[in-house]
Amino acid sequence: MSDSISMRVVRYRPDKDREPGWQTYDVPLRKEWTVLDGLNHVKNEVDSTLAFRWSCRMGICGSCGMNVDGEPRLTCATFLSDYAPGPVRVEPLGNFPIVRDLVVDLDDFMEKLPRVSPWIIRDDDVTEIDGEYLQTPEELDAYKQFSMCINCMLCYAACPVYGLDPEFIGPAAIALAERYDLDSRDHGARERLDVLIEHEGVWGCTFVGECTRVCPKHVDPAGAIQRYKLKAAHQSVKAFLLPRGAR
Amino acid sequence: MTDLTYRRPVSTWWWLKKRTYFVFVMRELSSIFIAWLVVYLLLLIRAVGRGPTAYDDFLDRADSPWLIVLNVVAFLFVLLHTVTWFNLTPQAMDVRMRGTRVPAAAIIASQYVGLAVVCGFVSWLVLS
């Protein structure tokens, strides 16, 4: 195995560049080094102007998502040795505007997320003073998979629908809506459905399935969206067939 | 404040960049061929309803090379449509029995069994 690998990294300095370009760096190729380690080596030893996001280095914070050889990945969980002999291409996550180098603007998601009310909604007046909400292990299992989302945005970067129609609310937001809908403590399913039944909600999705494939936490946003479509269709049929009081 | 962020244009050929995108677009395209086969089936039924002459005319037209090519292509797209949607079904349906989730393989297999039963029934109807 060679002792170094080339990293072709997208650079965009908004004060200087009209559009992004490429810069190549050679970094040590070590068995235990991830793409993020390579970028940190560049930042610390070669070029301190390179900008990228990272935090935990262990696949929990979801901040180091980038496109590695065209595939959205957490760079802290992607090993350089898998791309030997290189070069390995590192780009900002697709479908988001680039702020600088490998940093993208996530404002769009931050604006969309609260629309699906990703928190427990109750229709009674029980407060924490009255005690905790009890839940069985089976009830926990019902939504646990969808609660693993770390908002890393790999699913948005992989979704061609979001790329073509930025109005689409997107995979992670819908998966999180499903997470709360399936929570036995929650009463907000109707409220969320009112948001997601719109065109830019679940019906925007054409089931490419790429969001599920790239998800580092196996959340299966595509599955959540299709199940939401069933709910939305069921609701539409009920609204059409039943008198107002019985819906 | 000036927005200095850079928005990357989406290429018209985005669907050729990944095999999974390509398969997805082919799956969407397969709907057109499904529609064609439905129309073709309706034409067949109409020909049968109009009597032996119309039915013979229909069979004569079905012999033309371009129609054979079209129907072979359509059939291949139907296969793609069937296989891809059968594979996607477990994601869309959370089937539970006695509280536990039915494995994806069982849901997919049950669809093929259903397809085989329907095919068997139709074959029996036509051939007997």
What CATH number should be reported for the domain holding residue A83? Answer: 3.10.20.30
**Which pLDDT score, from 0 to 100, does residue A1 have?**
63
Right CATH number for B15-80 from 1.10.760.10, 3.40.720.10, 1.20.1300.10, 3.40.50.1820?
A: 1.20.1300.10
Domain check: are A112 and A131 in the same one?
yes
**Which pLDDT score, from 0 to 100, does residue A130 have?**
81
Q: Which residue of A has its CA nearest to B99?
A: A138
- Report whether A12 contacts A101 (CB < 8 A): yes
Contacts of A20 in chain B (CB under 8 A): 6, 8
For B94, the closest of A94, A212, A227 (CB atoms) is A227
Q: Which two tokens stand for residue A179?
A: 């997470």
Distance in Å, alpha carbon of B21 to nearest chain A alpha carbon: 7
Q: What is the pTM of this model?
A: 0.90
Q: Cβ separation of B10 and A163 shorter than 8 Å?
A: yes
What ipTM was assigned to the predicted interfaces of this complex? Answer: 0.84
Domain check: are A86 and A182 in the same one?
no
d(CA B95, CA B106): 10
Q: Cβ separation of B5 and A14 shorter than 8 Å?
A: yes
How many domains in chain A?
Answer: 2
Domain check: are A91 and A204 in the same one?
no
Distance in Å, alpha carbon of A53 to nearest chain B alpha carbon: 16
Among A226, A229, A230, the residue to mutate for chain B (most B Cβ within 10 A): A226
Domain check: are A133 and A228 in the same one?
yes
Domain check: are A11 and A87 in the same one?
yes
DSSP label at B6?
B
| CATH number of the domain where residue A177 is located | 1.10.1060.10
Last residue of a domain, one of A104, A135, A162: A104
pLDDT in tens, B112-121: 999 999 999 9
Rg for chain B, CA atoms, rounded: 22
Q: Cβ separation of A209 and B88 shorter than 8 Å?
A: yes
Strand order through the sheet with A71-74: A21-28, A4-11, A88-91, A65-68, A71-74
Instruction: Determine how β-strand A98-100 pairs with β-strand A65-68.
Output: unpaired
Domain with CATH 1.20.1300.10 in chain B: 15-80
Is residue A127's pLDDT more than 90? no
- Among the residue ranges A188-192, A204-208, B44-48, B95-99, the one predicted with the least confidence is B95-99
pLDDT in tens, A67-90: 999 999 999 999 999 999 989 999
> How confident is residue B16, by pLDDT bands cut at 50, 70 and 90?
very high
Distance in Å, alpha carbon of A129 to nearest chain B alpha carbon: 32
Is residue A146's pLDDT more than 60? yes
For A12, the closest of B6, B28, B93 (CB atoms) is B6
Which of A115, A119, A112 is closest to A183 using CA atoms? Answer: A119
Domain check: are A66 and A152 in the same one?
no
- Report whether B88 contacts B20 (CB < 8 A): no
Domain check: are A92 and A115 in the same one?
no
> How confident is residue B92, by pLDDT bands cut at 50, 70 and 90?
confident
Domain check: are A165 and A231 in the same one?
yes
Among B1, B5, B107, the residue to mutate for chain A (most A Cβ within 10 A): B5
Instruction: Determine how β-strand A88-91 pairs with β-strand A4-11.
Output: parallel
Domain check: are A139 and A58 in the same one?
no
CB atoms near residue A127 (< 10 Å): 8
Is residue A244's pLDDT more than 90? no
Average pLDDT over residues B104-114: 95
Last residue of a domain, one of A41, A76, A104: A104
Q: What angle do CA A192, A198, A201 make, to 5 degrees?
A: 70
What is the domain extent for residue A228?
A: 107-246
Last residue of a domain, one of A53, A73, A104: A104
Q: Which two tokens stand for residue B4?
A: 């200095």
Q: Which residue of B has its CA nearest to A219?
A: B91
Domain check: are A41 and A134 in the same one?
no
- Report whether A33 contacts A79 (CB < 8 A): yes
Contacts of A208 in chain B (CB under 8 A): 20-21, 24
Domain check: are A132 and A217 in the same one?
yes
**Which pLDDT score, from 0 to 100, does residue B94 have?**
83
Domain check: are A77 and A162 in the same one?
no
